[in-house]
């Protein structure tokens, strides 16, 4: 990560453009910062800075410098270790709200059905839902290729060694996708129920998918993920007759961790239960479009979505 704005490069992140061609991930102009001790830092940069450096001490050791014995000095910081990510997430949130763009962060274990659900959603809703996708994977563009086949714009972010998307990666992904005002962005996070839970992206809502082949005790095992969820989807309901998965028990366990998350059961393969998912999207998208933005969609989504099936 860059020291001033958190631009990540430590894990070899790569971002593709809309045509699927690899872009240098951190293109942009060189700019520099001068810190409170008069040192200058220069780095490449492609987006606005969230952090101002004016909060640092101009007159000596005003905020939190204490002189300790033995020639060392203690600098009190008391800041969250995720402060930089959270600041960038807040910037993303403002950017999205300003354009009336809804961004849904889709998270699950590997193979729970994120891409299948997205492909089916984009295919079935077609032109009625103006949507693009940001695909996060450690390697390959296989999922992005599946999305691209639906005709919707897609940006691939390969995180390399990284096991989650962070707010800076979303920032760069949004720059590359350049979503229209009033449109919807689906973010497929790296398949992993642990790390993505800790990194706020500034998204409109977090959607967590658990599939019935994984066991109904996932909420207990990965509480951070389920605590963060706005919507929990139980996928692969078509397999319920064959596996030992108790939907009510799963919901009960989720409720222990997160009393407010919404809950849906569906099958991305057969289409069972998808009406409720489209209904949720409809509510989430029209809610976000209405009050805050001056550039709300011209065609209301309500009605259009329910006609899709």
Partner 1 sequence: MHELSITQGLVYAVLDRTGERPVTAVNLRIGPLSGVLADAVRFCFDVATAGTPLAGARLQIDEPQGRGRCRSCQDEFTLSDLILLCPCGSADVEVLSGRELMLMSVEVA
Ligand X SMILES: Nc1nc2c(ncn2[C@@H]2O[C@H](COP(=O)(O)OP(=O)(O)OP(=O)(O)O)[C@@H](O)[C@H]2O)c(=O)[nH]1
Q: What's the rounded Cα separation, in Å, for the pair 169 and 175?
A: 10
H-type alpha helices, 141-242: 142-148, 167-177, 218-221, 223-228
**Is residue 56 part of the contact set for partner 1 (CB under 8 A)?**
yes
Q: What's the rounded Cα separation, in Å, for the pair 206 and 186?
A: 10
Half-sphere exposure of 209 (CA within 13 A, CB side): 29
Residues of this chain, 270-299, that bind partner 1 according to CB under 8 A:
none
**Is residue 35 part of the contact set for partner 1 (CB under 8 A)?**
yes
Q: What's the rounded Cα separation, in Å, for the pair 306 and 308?
A: 5
Which residues are bridge partners to 157 per DSSP? 15, 136
Q: What's the rounded Cα separation, in Å, for the pair 301 and 309?
A: 14
Query: Least distance (Å) from Zn ion to the CB of residue 257?
Result: 17
Query: Least distance (Å) from partner 1 to the CB of residue 280?
Result: 25
Binding-site partner at residue 81 among ligand X, partner 1, Zn ion, none, CB < 5 to 8 Å by type: partner 1
Look at the block and give the residue holding tokens 């019935």: 212
Cβ closer to ligand X: 130 or 143?
143
* Segment interacting with partner 1 (CB under 8 A) among 105-113, 179-187, 249-257, 266-274: 249-257
**Is residue 164 part of the contact set for partner 1 (CB under 8 A)?**
yes
Sheet holding 184-188, edge to edge: 22-23, 14-16, 154-158, 131-137, 184-188, 102-108, 205-211, 231-235, 262-265
Cβ closer to Zn ion: 102 or 114?
114
Binding-site partner at residue 127 among ligand X, Zn ion, partner 1, none, CB < 5 to 8 Å by type: none
Which structure tokens are listed for 55?
């909060």
**Is residue 115 part of the contact set for partner 1 (CB under 8 A)?**
no
Using CB under 5 A, which of 115, 150, 211, 265 touches Zn ion?
115
Cβ closer to ligand X: 4 or 108?
108
Binding-site partner at residue 97 among ligand X, partner 1, Zn ion, none, CB < 5 to 8 Å by type: none
**Is residue 71 part of the contact set for partner 1 (CB under 8 A)?**
yes
Q: What's the rounded Cα separation, in Å, for the pair 211 and 217?
A: 11
User: In angstroms, what is the C-alpha Rg of the chain?
Assistant: 21
* Segment interacting with Zn ion (CB under 5 A) among 53-61, 67-75, 156-164, 218-226: 156-164
> What secondary structure letter does DSSP report for 240?
G
**Is residue 198 part of the contact set for Zn ion (CB under 5 A)?**
no
Give CA separation, 121 vs 125, 252, 296, in Å.
6, 28, 22
Q: What's the rounded Cα separation, in Å, for the pair 67 and 90?
A: 34
Query: Least distance (Å) from partner 1 to the CB of residue 118?
Result: 24
**Is residue 72 part of the contact set for partner 1 (CB under 8 A)?**
yes
**Is residue 224 part of the contact set for partner 1 (CB under 8 A)?**
yes
Cβ closer to ligand X: 185 or 289?
185
Binding-site partner at residue 112 among partner 1, ligand X, Zn ion, none, CB < 5 to 8 Å by type: ligand X
Q: What's the rounded Cα separation, in Å, for the pair 31 and 41?
A: 8
Binding-site partner at residue 218 among Zn ion, ligand X, partner 1, none, CB < 5 to 8 Å by type: none
Provide the binding-site residues for partner 1, judged by CB under 8 A: 1-4, 6, 8, 10-11, 35, 37, 39, 56, 64, 68, 71-85, 161-164, 166, 194-195, 197-199, 220, 223-224, 227, 255-257, 259
């Amino acid at each position: 990560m860059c020291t001033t704005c958190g631009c990540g490069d430590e894990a070899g992140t790569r971002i593709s453009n809309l045509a699927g061609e690899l872009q240098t991930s951190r293109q942009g102009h060189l700019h520099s910062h001068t810190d409170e001790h008069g040192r200058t830092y220069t780095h490449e940069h492609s987006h606005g800075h969230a952090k101002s450096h004016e909060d640092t001490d101009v007159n000596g050791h005003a905020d939190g410098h204490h002189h300790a014995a033995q020639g060392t000095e203690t600098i009190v910081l008391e800041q969250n270790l995720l402060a930089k990510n959270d600041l960038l997430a807040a910037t993303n949130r403002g950017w999205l709200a300003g354009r009336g763009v809804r961004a849904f962060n889709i998270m699950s274990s590997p193979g729970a059905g994120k891409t299948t659900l997205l492909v089916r959603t984009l295919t079935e809703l077609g032109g009625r839902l103006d949507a693009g996708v940001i695909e996060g994977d450690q390697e390959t563009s296989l999922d992005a290729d599946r999305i691209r086949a639906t005709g919707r714009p897609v940006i691939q972010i390969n995180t390399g060694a990284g096991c989650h998307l962070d707010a800076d990666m979303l920032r760069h992904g949004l720059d590359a996708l350049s979503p229209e005002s009033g449109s919807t962005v689906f973010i497929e996070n790296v398949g992993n129920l642990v790390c993505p839970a800790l990194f706020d992206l500034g998204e409109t809502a977090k959607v967590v998918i658990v599939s019935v082949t994984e066991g109904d005790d996932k909420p207990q095992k990965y509480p951070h993920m389920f605590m963060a969820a706005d919507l929990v989807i139980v996928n692969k309901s078509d397999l319920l007759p064959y596996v030992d998965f108790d939907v009510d028990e799963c919901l009960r366990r989720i409720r222990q961790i997160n009393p407010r998350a919404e809950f849906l059961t569906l099958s991305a393969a057969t289409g069972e239960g998808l009406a409720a998912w489209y209904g949720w999207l409809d509510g989430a998208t029209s809610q976000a479009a209405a009050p805050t933005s001056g550039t709300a969609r011209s065609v209301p989504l309500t009605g259009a979505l329910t006609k899709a099936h």
